[in-house]
Structure 1
Amino acid sequence: MQYLYGSGEGSAISLQAWRGLTGYVAQQVRKRPRDSVVLASGATLVAPSFVPCGRKPFAAVFDVDETVLLNLGFEYSEAANPRPYDEAGWQAWEKTGADKVAAVPGAVDALNRLRKLGVTVVFNTNRSAGSAAQTSAAIEGAGLGPAVHGETMFLSGDDALGSKKDGRRAVISAKYCVLAMGGDQLGDFSDLFNAGLAPSPRRDATLAAPVVAKWGAGWFVLPNPVYGSGLKGGFDDVFPADKRWAAPATTEK
């Protein structure tokens, strides 16, 4: 929390990501790519294929929490009152915390620039459809809107897949040529990353060709060391056995 919400380093990484994203999208607008950056139905990470663009209008798709919005009020409550994550508490936050958020550094300027390029900004979030009005208010109150449910904002409960986002991405990419996606979790790019992979194979999947070419070139990750699918794994998952080190024993005279 100190890093993401309080540090200059965290804000600098966010600014860096947004600058890279807008520069990339500007290039794509000029060249009109053949394919979207949304994986097509039936694609795999090993053999990816992407939804064709045709003559569809341009869009960029973003997660909300810790991608465009910093949930300062909720995370303050979590830090001041340590406890296990509670879904009821999060739902209460969605409905009452719309004015206790802030835009991620760089996000307002970046989204405004995208819109000036003729790119529709679409939000795809796992906030619940039952709090659509409050989520829209949070996004727009932070200067990131417009966010219209079913048009430029899609929520968990909008389809039968719940917290999985591929169904909503399919709806969006059927209407738009998606030039870029931004998120803080791998599921913001494809649900395939969360298909039962252990931490080490999941990490390896991000590094393997041809998916590795998408990072910074259509897929843009924002920093979030606070919560989410990336915070998993014990010693054996994180530290390879052949890379472990211990301080040499000292010999006392």
Structure 2
Amino acid sequence: MAPPPAAVTPGSVPPGMQYLYGSGEGAAISIQAWRGLVGYAAARAKARPTDSVVLASGATLDAPRFVPCGAKPLAAVFDVDETVLLNLGFEADDAAHPGRSYDQARWQAWERTGVAQVSPVPGAREALATLRAMGVTPVFNTNRSVGTVEQTAASLNGAGLGPARHGETLFVAGDDPTGSRKDLRRATIAARYCVIAMGGDQLGDFSDLFNAGQPVRARRDAVAAPALALLWGAGWFVLPNPVYGSALKGGLDDVFPADKRWNSPGAAQ
């Protein structure tokens, strides 16, 4: 028999978790993103695009090129964790044990046993149902392990987000030789489908090129450069995640440019 869930001390939940898992604001921005995605997908499905929104092999962030669509059926590709599923059980365990560092073995145990302790991201279930009704197939591309793919599919299906079928509408780490390179799986998906929209909570959910080790400021500047700026909200849709991931890095000098600093008058320096 499983032990009872750990009690979470009131007031001990980190601010990022409060926002993402508990706030009305977090739910509203997720619903807003999903509504925007569905509206965009409806327009693109009607227009039948010539190119997908998946970067082609050899493309760069400065000079993006996209996989052509041809006559392939339409699809939209999504990350899983904190994009379509909220990992409430895992994060509650984290909140109950402040100061504990991330442990891959504990995450893998979560993948195996936390099938039901999840919730759909606000707006996701309705959006995926609408996409399917308009003839757009939702496909999931996640870095969850191939060893727990059955449990991942069960979580998605149990949350009303499926059908998720491995190798058809669900692709995981281990489905490609590198294990965690989403671009290779995106290429596999784009070879089968005309991908008209993608959604994720990390930039790597759109291209592995974002994870090439750029400094914090250069990475931020890259997403706002003219070549990519037109994609946000028009093919590429970001969901909020202030809890973990590639966004949470950078010291004072990385985040706040020196020429934009301000000191309160009279404050100790």
**What TM-score, normalized to structure 1?**
0.98
Amino acid at match of 2:108: Q
- Among 107, 111, 114, the residue aligned to 1:97: 114
Residue 29 of structure 1 corresponds to 45
Residue 117 of structure 1 corresponds to 134
Amino acid at match of 1:32: R
- Secondary structure at the aligned position of 2:249 is classed as coil
- How far did residue 46 of structure 1 move? 0.5
Amino acid at match of 2:84: V
- Secondary structure at the aligned position of 2:226 is classed as coil
Residue-pair matches, total: 250
CA distance, structure 2, for counterparts of residue 69 and residue 217 of structure 1? 22
Residue 55 of structure 2 corresponds to 39
CA distance, structure 1, for counterparts of residue 180 and residue 18 of structure 2? 27
Residue 218 of structure 1 corresponds to 235
- Secondary structure at the aligned position of 1:78 is classed as helix
Matched, 1:165 2:182: yes
Residue 71 of structure 2 corresponds to 55
Which consecutive unaligned segments of at least 5 residues does structure 2 have?
A: 1-16
CA distance, structure 2, for counterparts of residue 167 and residue 45 of structure 1? 17
- How far did residue 81 of structure 1 move? 1.0
Amino acid at match of 2:40: Y
Deviations 1:180-232 (A, max 9, x none): 00000000000001111111100000000111100000000000000000001
Q: What's the Cα RMSD here?
A: 0.7
- Secondary structure at the aligned position of 1:178 is classed as strand
Amino acid at match of 2:68: P
CA distance, structure 2, for counterparts of residue 54 and residue 163 of structure 1? 28
- How far did residue 72 of structure 1 move? 0.2
Amino acid at match of 2:64: P
Moved beyond 3 Å, runs of 4+: none
**What TM-score, normalized to structure 2?**
0.92
Residue 78 of structure 1 corresponds to 94
Identity of aligned residues (%): 71
